[in-house]
Amino acid sequence: MSEVVRRRVVVHGRVQGVFFRDTTRREASRRGVAGWVTNRPDGAVEAVFEGPPDVVEAMVEFSSSGPRGADVDRVETSEEQPEGLDGFDVR
């Protein structure tokens, strides 16, 4: 079986109210990445991506710009142990 990695990102800036979560869900589903994305009370968006290293890194890269209308100030990224997630959810 191929290697699976997990990354958690917290995206800061103008990222709520610009379809960031739904666009992230569509991108992740298109790429076959598992995980979830949610709005945080502090105005940031948090997401977890699990899958092959190259597609997970592509999702981290996507998070640094987001959809049209987003204005990303910074992205915090951390590595985590994969949990074997299946599918991608908006929370």
- Give the residue numbers annotated as catalytic, written as ranges: 21, 39
Q: Which of 38, 61, 35 is nearest to 49 (CA)?
A: 35
For residue 21, which phi and psi values (nearest 5 degrees)?
-65, -50
